[in-house]
Structure 1
Amino acid sequence: MRRIALVVGTMLLGIGAVMAQQEVAVQQQNLMKAQGKDMYGVFGKILKGEIAYDQAAVDAALADLEVQVTKIATTFTPNPKQNVKDASFGASQKIWQNKSDFESKIPPVSKAIAEQKGKIKDSASLKTAYDAIQDKCTGCHDDYRVKLK
């Protein structure tokens, strides 16, 4: 009887650990998706002509992006050792193997965003801002994001 209780208890602990790791991976993915919503759902759609230029939407997306980027280091502190089920992209284990390099890529993104505040007035200046920010984002994505599908 004790053996059965021990096996069941061990299984429950294992299931709990897997669920906790999945929750961390989901939090990390949600942070990246929030940034993608600003970059691609607002800036990208305006630049493609899918939606009209809207200064209030641009300003809100830039402000949100600025806040979201500050959360990267803490959100990626725990290593979930797994990716979100059915996700297209995931976090490379290289993040936790070279955490200082990963974290060194965050300030340039924040700086690029801060440098664009107050400069975006139309689609042309939005394109310049988008390229400047995207250039800094890509530096991290190239090294620390993996394509899953």
Structure 2
Amino acid sequence: MNVKTLLASAALATAAFGFAAHAESDNPTIQARQQAMKTIGQNFKIVGDTAKGTMEFDAAAIQAALTTISETAATVPTLFEEEVVDAESDASDDIWANWDDFVSKAEALQAAAADASGMVSSADDLGAVMGSVGGACGACHKPYKL
């Protein structure tokens, strides 16, 4: 993958995560959801920064980040199981209207991160990771994040 494509993938994936700050909720259910999304975002940032070359490649750090993303994604359906809404939440009501699709998208992120963790041996491998994991994130954020 060429450098322009890699950087474009990194920028697109970072934008899909919506790193913009938002207010924290006082609701414990919403807080748990927000923390899970922050955890995924922080770990994806490690992969993205490495792909962009602003962080030195460290296979163990990438592996750990992808494992954390996969493990956290596995908790997403449980975190959203109860239909709790809050003005401080970025979650769309469409989550509960399209529950099976939402769950399948969380499972796709879990699988993409788990699959990617085994295929990174050099910085050259990160373009594919950004595409698969970032794509799985964006696939859920587009319909289900306000």
Normalization by structure 2: what TM-score? 0.76
Q: Deviations over 1:31-57 (max 9, x none)?
A: 0010001111x1111122221111111
Give matches, 1:1-149, under 5 Å.
22-40=27-45, 42-84=46-88, 90-146=90-146
Aligned to 1:12: none
Cα distance in 1 for partners of 2:77, 2:144 equals: 13
Cα distance in 2 for partners of 1:31, 1:73 equals: 11
Query: What are the ranges of 5 or more consecutive residues in structure 1 without an aligned counterpart?
Result: 1-19
Whether the 8 Å contact between 1:21 and 1:82 is mirrored in structure 2 is: no
Following superposition, the deviation at residue 21 of structure 1 comes to 7.0
Distance change in 2, residues 1:99/1:21 (3 Å): farther
Higher-strand-fraction structure: 1
User: What SS is found at the alignment partner of 1:79?
Assistant: coil
Distance change in 2, residues 1:80/1:21 (3 Å): farther
Q: Which amino acid in 2 is paired with 1:49?
A: G
Give aligned-pair identity as a percent.
26
Cα distance in 2 for partners of 1:21, 1:140 equals: 24
User: Deviation above 3 Å: which 4+ runs of structure 1?
Assistant: none
Q: Deviations over 1:96-148 (max 9, x none)?
A: 122122112122222222322321011110221121111111111000001xx
Cα distance in 2 for partners of 1:100, 1:128 equals: 27
Alignment RMSD, CA only?
1.7
Query: What are the ranges of 5 or more consecutive residues in structure 2 without an aligned counterpart?
Result: 1-24
Cα distance in 1 for partners of 2:39, 2:82 equals: 19
User: What SS is found at the alignment partner of 2:27?
Assistant: helix
Cα distance in 1 for partners of 2:110, 2:28 equals: 26
Aligned length in residues = 122
Distance change in 2, residues 1:121/1:28 (3 Å): same
Which of 1 and 2 has higher RCO (CA within 8 Å, sep 6+)? 2
User: What SS is found at the alignment partner of 1:71?
Assistant: helix
Cα distance in 2 for partners of 1:45, 1:67 equals: 21
